[in-house]
Amino acid sequence: MDYQDTLENKTPVHRKIIHIDMDAFYASVEQRDNPALRGKPVAVGGSKERGVVAAASYEARKFGVKSAMPSVLARKRCPHLIFVKPRFEEYKKVSQQIRDIFLEYTPLVEPLSLDEAYLDVTENLKGIESANQIAKEIRQRIYDQTQLTASAGISINKFLAKVASNINKPNGQKTIHPNQIDQFLNELPIAKLHGIGKVTAQRFKDMGVFYGKDLKELSPSFLSQNFGKSGIHYYNVVRGIHNSPVNPNRIRKSIGVERTFSENIIDQEDILDKLVYLSNELENRLSAKDKEGRTLTLKIKYADFTQYTRSITLIDQYFKDKELILENAQALWHERPKKESVRLLGLSVTNFKGLEDDTQSVIQLEIPFKKEGFKY
């Protein structure tokens, strides 16, 4: 998430941005490659007790199965759900195929994950004026080459394009023209605003904010007092202002996952369950991005809203597998300030292989804090 926009940037910059998003990506690849799975509820992920759904087919979603859901719950909702192990190598291959298609239209491609990207086609390599037309062509070409469907959103900035791509999903597209933006945002339910999660949406509803038009009533100072930097971001995007460029060279410095719980957690076993879940999910995300890193950080937000983070850096190993992640996450957990209940847990990996900070490795050699690593 980036919050570069400030209140000074009051003029919306008009560009032609497309957000492309593959439909139920991992699950669709599995259904494509195994005809026995077609038309059936499929979950990609581990079926075991501690497994997590990484992706669900549309047939499974009808039963309320969603990605990031514990597999046990998914099976409860859909007893005939078919679990399939993820094949990241295959997903990466398809991801490269679609990226090659994007690059025929514009060099300004910013991938968000294996199956999603922003494209700036304001000036494109084919000289096509209509971004809507380009999105149609790209989706057709993706289908011809991969037999997979994608959805697209088209508008003047990344934020609006992202919101738009969800509207006619699956296998559809939506353009929000500059003259429709105000009305579109006024009528947009608050939970649909990209970047607003369940908990934040609920906080807004408690304040009487249900739609974009309600959000517009709030002042920037009120929003920043209540939501920090994100508050300013909300203030801007609900006015159609989001000037962050499509950045083809964005270097990802951290990969993480965090969950805010609907109820604060006190029970130690519940905490362990959450750490297992977060470790699984983090492994998936690292694997999807083909990254591994030396530093693992645990973030805890307590019920009283105080926040605590603690990291561990390994000297001779990388965080990649869930077992190593979980083992260290638990160790970090045991060092926390002991307080009653927890409302958020997060795990992230930084210090990626190939991008390590040299100064840090020097420090690591000088301070043998702990045999297998050190903390800072």
The helix (run of H) or strand (run of E) holding residue 106 is none
Structure tokens at 87: 């094949």
Stretch that binds Mg ion, among 58-66, 108-116, 178-186, 291-299 (CB under 5 A): 108-116
Q: How far apart are alpha carbons 321 and 85 in whole angstroms?
A: 15
Pattern of binders to Mg ion over 303-332, x per CB under 5 A? ------------------------------
Q: Which residues pair with 319 in a beta bridge?
A: 293
Question: What's the closest the beta carbon of residue 149 comes to Mg ion, in angstroms?
Answer: 10
Size of the site for Mg ion (CB under 5 A): 4
Q: How far apart are alpha carbons 163 and 104 in whole angstroms?
A: 24
Question: What's the closest the beta carbon of residue 22 comes to Mg ion, in angstroms?
Answer: 5
Q: For Mg ion, which is the closer residue by CB, 21 or 110?
A: 21
For residue 180, what is the DSSP state? G
Question: What's the closest the beta carbon of residue 245 comes to Mg ion, in angstroms?
Answer: 22
Q: For Mg ion, which is the closer residue by CB, 27 or 190?
A: 27
Q: For Mg ion, which is the closer residue by CB, 148 or 193?
A: 148
Look up residue 329 and give its amino acid: A
Are the beta carbons of 188 and 196 closer than 8 angstroms? no
Stretch that binds Mg ion, among 22-30, 278-286, 297-305, 325-333 (CB under 5 A): 22-30
110 lines the binding site for Mg ion (CB under 5 A): no
Q: Specify the pairing of strand 342-352 against strand 293-302.
A: antiparallel
Rg (CA), the chain: 22
Q: Is 116 a catalytic residue?
A: yes
Structure tokens at 179: 């003259």
Stretch that binds Mg ion, among 110-118, 160-168, 189-197, 316-324 (CB under 5 A): 110-118
Q: How far apart are alpha carbons 105 and 120 in whole angstroms?
A: 9
Helices (H), the chain: 25-33, 58-61, 71-77, 88-105, 131-146, 158-165, 181-187, 198-206, 212-215, 220-227, 229-237, 268-289, 322-334, 358-366
Q: For Mg ion, which is the closer residue by CB, 170 or 245?
A: 170
Q: Specify the pairing of strand 53-56 against strand 17-22.
A: unpaired
153 lines the binding site for Mg ion (CB under 5 A): no
Q: Hey, is 143 helix, strand or coil?
A: helix
Q: Hey, is 278 helix, strand or coil?
A: helix
Pattern of binders to Mg ion over 111-130, x per CB under 5 A? ----x---------------
Question: What's the closest the beta carbon of residue 290 comes to Mg ion, in angstroms?
Answer: 18
Look up residue 40 and give its amino acid: K
Q: Binding Mg ion by CB under 5 A: which of 17, 18, 20, 22?
A: 22
Q: For Mg ion, which is the closer residue by CB, 21 or 292?
A: 21
146 lines the binding site for Mg ion (CB under 5 A): no
Stretch that binds Mg ion, among 17-25, 87-95, 122-130, 346-354 (CB under 5 A): 17-25
Q: Binding Mg ion by CB under 5 A: which of 5, 18, 19, 21?
A: 21
Q: Which residues pair with 309 in a beta bridge?
A: 299
Question: What's the closest the beta carbon of residue 112 comes to Mg ion, in angstroms?
Answer: 9
Q: For Mg ion, which is the closer residue by CB, 115 or 292?
A: 115
Are the beta carbons of 146 and 7 closer than 8 angstroms? no
For the annotated catalytic residues, the residue numbers are 116
- Chain residues binding Mg ion by CB under 5 A are 21-22, 25, 115
